[in-house]
Amino acid sequence: MEKRKRGGQLKDLTGMVFGKLTVLEYAGKKGRHTTWLCRCACGKETTVFTTSLKSGDTTSCGCANAFNKRVTLFGDTDLTGKRFGSLTVIGRKNIRSWFCRCDCGREFSRDTSKLHGDFALKCKICAAADRRMDLTGKRFGRLVAIEIEKRENKPHRNRVHWLCKCDCGNTASVVSSQLVHGKTLSCGCLVKETASRLGSQIGMRNAIGNRKYDWRVTVNGKRLTLRSSFEVIFVKYLLKHHIRFEYEPRRIQLAPDTVYIPDFHLPDTDTWVEVKGYATETWQRKRERFERAGYRLLVVTEASIASYLPGISYDVWLRRNGHKYLRNP
């Protein structure tokens, strides 16, 4: 088909292929622009401007963009043969989901996001069996399940929370699937010990770059690893004035889903201390709950840290005490 266009002919694009699009016929004009009816490789038909076809700006009905977005979000293009919990991917269903086989032999489809997200990675029958499973007295890492604390009966989320006793003495509420799949092994003390063991390499990166600091002091002949220079200043102040203290001694359960670990406890005055360079909204909410629970809290901020320094500036204190940058190995 040919169309006149101001002293020239419009080239007939019928039958030509542009990416996933095959031109079917001329579709008229939209304003001053010429459009063509095209069929995508996925089977969908759409109208596209001539300029968009020739420039390569449009190469599909939109399915290619959706696919690329999926690949960007979830990584692997082809998940066939990969394992996710008790599921083995056996093939693609469509751009959004995959055919999976559970270890029990049942086959069904599951959305890509539910394979990569925090979902029950097994079929509904096995997931229901897990919820009915009696975990009382069973050990999972440092946790021992005591009793069912609550059940969630929400659409698409029927979970069982177990009250567990940790080897450190604390209790924690853990979802049964987290226990069975080995995702939760302690009340949180395991992570804390790992952070302390690795010292400045975990949780002690300075906000201005990727350099590491060495925040360690000697207390009663033992090396104590802290999390910031402000904490070091505060500890040295306490040692100088012979004030007894405990460092992160307790995990305090403020709500079923909220745990707070204050930095210091001063047993002589039963005062809790939080050394904070800056306060986030999440921490402010925890602080309000903590104080409403009847605890006495002292907050040491960047503005007040100078009162704990021996008459010198923060930078001078750093140099005098040898707290220099420890570059990454």
- So what's the pLDDT on residue 162? 87
Can you give the pLDDT at residue 191? 66
pLDDT of the residue at 281: 75
Q: How far is CA 175 from CA 83, 107, 147, 244, in A?
A: 22, 25, 12, 38
pLDDT in tens, 125-152: 777 666 667 888 989 888 999 988 887 7
Residue extents of the structural domains in the chain: 3-61, 75-125, 136-187, 191-320
Residues counted in the chain: 329
Global model pTM greater than 0.75 = no
pLDDT value of residue 210: 38
* Residue that is written with structure tokens 């809790």 in the block: 272
- What would the pLDDT profile of 187-218 be if each residue is shown by its tens digit? 877 766 654 444 334 333 333 333 444 577 77
The CA distance from 237 to 306, in Å, is 11
Positions of the chain with pLDDT lower than 50, given as ranges: 1-5, 7, 70-76, 195-213, 323-329
The tokens for 183 are 């995702």
Class of domain 191-320: alpha beta
Beta bridge partners of 164: 145, 172
Burial of 179 (0-12, 13-18, 19+ CB in 10 A): buried
- DSSP class of residue 205 equals B
- Residue ranges of the alpha helices (H) in the chain? 50-55, 63-74, 112-116, 124-132, 176-180, 189-198, 229-240, 281-292, 314-320
How far apart are the C-alpha atoms of 223 and 264, rounded to whole Å? 16
Contact (CB, 8 A) for 24 and 39: yes
Q: Residue 203: helix, strand or coil by DSSP?
A: coil
As a whole number of angstroms, the distance between CA 183 and CA 17 comes to: 50
Instruction: State the pLDDT at residue 144.
Output: 92
Token couple for 245: 């203290």
Give the pLDDT of residue 8.
Answer: 54
